[in-house]
């Protein structure tokens, strides 16, 4: 259903954020072209843990973070590692990250997380329905589990943030935990259960299925690398690609961890860093966990997906271009074996992806100050799968000139 009066929007990036934005833009009546140098979902969206956690309202940078930095520098295989060689480049970002952990900032960031995340399932619902993919997302609940007997609830600040956000959470002892998840080793002795959280059965296939829907709706998805922009009459008139210039009317930058490179060419600077994470995928794990489990002792998630059991997580600050250090994936496997006795590893695959992260962990959902017909949708850090659909909805509202469903101030590109 295209007509010559339709607004045309070009989206750079066919990750989950770009594809969800494309679908919402189509729902708002726009004609859409998505550009990506790879296929849909082959960036960070390929291998995440699949968790959709409306209850996630505790920022990564917390007041105690400062005291842990020496440990992060000392242990290249720890849950958060900073490569020495990359320290000079990452230092400004790291200092801002630590500054985001002041208690007052933490509360404001938490409110902004909750505003987005609480809408995750409702924003996905129409997209999944339209794509016939409702079975790809489960409202199963999620466990956070620990080998420690006490302390899983977190300190007063953490509990206060969850209370303020109205997050439903149940504290479980060992017996209750193992009734709910018999596959988990008895070494795990305490847990939190978040009944309103859930997960995607396959993060990559989800992007592909939604991308197919974009095309069936009349959109184009083209394999192109965007290397620059052309400007005319004070606006962006074209994107430069290896296959020539493509004229643009409106533009969405949803290029994940690479977005800042494009923004620089548009005269905007943002402190975007790659928080690199790893996964191991076990296609035939020999155990059948019922629920996704966040391992609170070792900072990763174990997710039972349609194509196997995935252990995914940890953070490595080493820049976008450094080669992966797959010893980090092996550490995930070691901890995973401890969680699920009898684990089989035949056919195992490993992966590394770059989370697009700003120092406060919140995304940028905004219009460019220099070019009002250019929108920004990136920087979803640990929560891009969860935040993609609501981001798409907000970008479509922006493009339609409609009032935003939530206050967009916390996600402004000008906050840095």
Stretch that binds ligand FAD, among 66-74, 152-160, 336-344, 375-383 (CB under 6 A): 375-383
Q: Residue 351 is encoded by which pair of tokens?
A: 């992966």
Residue pointed to by tokens 């007509």: 3
Taking CB under 6 A as the criterion, the residue among 304, 353, 361, 410 binding ligand FAD is 353
How many residues make up the chain in this entry? 416
Q: Which is nearer to ligand FAD, 312 or 339 (CB)?
A: 312
Q: Contact between 44 and ligand FAD (CB under 6 A)? A: yes
Taking CB under 6 A as the criterion, the residue among 312, 318, 362, 398 binding ligand FAD is 312
Nearest-approach distance from CB 279 to ligand FAD, in angstroms: 5
Q: Contact between 225 and ligand FAD (CB under 6 A)? A: yes
Q: Contact between 54 and ligand FAD (CB under 6 A)? A: no
| Proportion of the chain in helix, strand, coil states, percent, rounded to 5 | 35, 25, 35
Taking CB under 6 A as the criterion, the residue among 36, 181, 196, 273 binding ligand FAD is 36
Nearest-approach distance from CB 386 to ligand FAD, in angstroms: 4
Q: Which is nearer to ligand FAD, 226 or 396 (CB)?
A: 226
Stretch that binds ligand FAD, among 31-39, 89-97, 168-176, 212-220 (CB under 6 A): 31-39
Q: Residue 132 is encoded by which pair of tokens?
A: 């016939």
DSSP string, 329-375: HHHHHHHHHHHSTT---TT-EEEEEEEEE-TTSPPEEEE-SS-TTEE
Q: Which is nearer to ligand FAD, 300 or 340 (CB)?
A: 300
- Among residues 139, 113, 178, 166, the alpha carbon closest in space to that of 360 is found at 113
Q: Contact between 356 and ligand FAD (CB under 6 A)? A: yes
114 neighbors 57 (Cβ within 8 angstroms)? yes
- Among residues 203, 193, 146, the alpha carbon closest in space to that of 172 is found at 193
Calculate helix-pair angle for 103-117, 156-165, nearest 10 degrees.
Answer: 40
Taking CB under 6 A as the criterion, the residue among 146, 378, 392, 394 binding ligand FAD is 378
Q: Which is nearer to ligand FAD, 213 or 279 (CB)?
A: 279
Stretch that binds ligand FAD, among 49-57, 125-133, 337-345, 394-402 (CB under 6 A): 49-57
Q: Contact between 310 and ligand FAD (CB under 6 A)? A: no
Show the beta-strand stretches assigned E in 226-362: 226-232, 235-241, 244-247, 250-253, 273-282, 293-295, 300-305, 308-317, 349-357
Number of residues near ligand FAD (by CB under 6 A): 44
- Among residues 142, 360, 388, the alpha carbon closest in space to that of 252 is found at 388
Q: Which is nearer to ligand FAD, 15 or 410 (CB)?
A: 15
Q: Which is nearer to ligand FAD, 40 or 285 (CB)?
A: 40
Q: Contact between 380 and ligand FAD (CB under 6 A)? A: yes
Q: Residue 137 is encoded by which pair of tokens?
A: 């997302």
Ramachandran class of 357: left when φ > 0, alpha when ψ lies in -120 to 50, beta otherwise: beta
| Residues numbered 240-299 forming contacts with ligand FAD, rule: CB under 6 A | 254-258, 262, 277-279
Taking CB under 6 A as the criterion, the residue among 16, 106, 167, 365 binding ligand FAD is 16
Other C-beta atoms lying within 10 Å of the C-beta of residue 133? 20
Taking CB under 6 A as the criterion, the residue among 11, 49, 127, 348 binding ligand FAD is 49
Q: Contact between 60 and ligand FAD (CB under 6 A)? A: no
User: How far, in whole angstroms, is CA 238 from its chain's centroid?
Assistant: 29
Q: Residue 55 is encoded by which pair of tokens?
A: 């209850």
Q: Contact between 304 and ligand FAD (CB under 6 A)? A: no
Q: Contact between 302 and ligand FAD (CB under 6 A)? A: no
Q: How many CA atoms lie within 13 A of 173 on its CB side?
A: 1
Stretch that binds ligand FAD, among 10-18, 79-87, 136-144, 337-345 (CB under 6 A): 10-18
Other C-beta atoms lying within 10 Å of the C-beta of residue 376? 28
| Residues numbered 384-413 forming contacts with ligand FAD, rule: CB under 6 A | 384-386
DSSP state, 141?
Answer: -
Taking CB under 6 A as the criterion, the residue among 11, 17, 395, 398 binding ligand FAD is 17
Q: Which is nearer to ligand FAD, 293 or 399 (CB)?
A: 293
Other C-beta atoms lying within 10 Å of the C-beta of residue 11? 31
Binding site for ligand FAD (CB under 6 A): 12-18, 35-38, 42-45, 48-51, 225-226, 254-258, 262, 277-279, 301, 312-313, 353, 355-356, 378, 380-386
């Amino acid at each position: 259903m295209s007509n010559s009066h339709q607004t045309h929007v070009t989206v750079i990036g066919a990750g989950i954020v770009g594809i969800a934005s494309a679908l919402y833009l189509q729902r708002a009546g726009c004609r859409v072209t998505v550009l990506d140098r790879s296929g849909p979902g082959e960036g960070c969206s390929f291998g995440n843990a699949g968790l959709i956690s409306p209850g996630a309202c505790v920022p990564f940078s917390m007041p105690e973070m400062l005291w842990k930095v020496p440990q992060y520098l000392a242990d290249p295989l720890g849950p958060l590692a900073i490569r020495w060689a990359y320290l000079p480049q990452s230092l400004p970002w790291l200092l801002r990250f630590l500054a985001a952990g002041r208690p007052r900032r933490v509360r404001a960031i938490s409110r902004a997380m909750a505003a987005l995340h609480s809408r995750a399932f409702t924003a996905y619902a129409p997209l999944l329905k339209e794509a016939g993919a409702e079975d790809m997302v489960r409202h199963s609940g999620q466990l956070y589990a620990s080998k420690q007997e006490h302390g899983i609830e977190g300190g007063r600040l953490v509990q206060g943030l969850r209370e303020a956000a109205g997050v439903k959470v149940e504290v479980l002892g060992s017996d209750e935990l193992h009734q709910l998840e018999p596959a988990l080793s008895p070494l795990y002795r305490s847990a939190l259960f978040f009944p309103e959280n859930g997960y995607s059965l396959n993060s990559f296939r989800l992007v592909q299925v939604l991308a197919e829907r974009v095309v069936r709706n009349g959109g184009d998805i083209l394999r192109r690398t965007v290397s620059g922009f052309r400007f005319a009459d004070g606006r962006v008139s074209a994107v430069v690609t290896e296959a020539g210039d493509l004229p643009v009317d409106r533009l969405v930058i949803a290029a994940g961890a690479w977005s800042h490179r494009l923004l620089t060419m548009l005269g905007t600077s943002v402190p975007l860093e790659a928080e690199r994470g790893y996964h191991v995928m076990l296609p035939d794990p020999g155990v059948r966990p019922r629920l996704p489990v966040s391992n609170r002792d070792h900072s990763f998630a174990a997710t039972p997906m349609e194509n196997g059991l995935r252990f995914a997580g940890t953070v490595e600050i080493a820049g976008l271009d450094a080669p992966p250090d797959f010893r980090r994936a092996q550490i995930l496997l070691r901890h995973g074996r401890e969680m699920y006795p009898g684990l089989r590893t035949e056919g195992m695959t490993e992966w590394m992806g770059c989370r697009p992260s700003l120092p406060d962990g919140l995304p940028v959902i905004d219009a460019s100050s220099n070019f009002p017909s250019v929108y920004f949708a990136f920087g979803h850090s640990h929560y891009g799968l969860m935040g993609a659909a609501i981001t798409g909805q907000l970008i479509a509202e922006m493009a339609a000139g409609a009032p935003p469903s939530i206050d967009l101030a916390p996600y402004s590109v000008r906050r840095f």
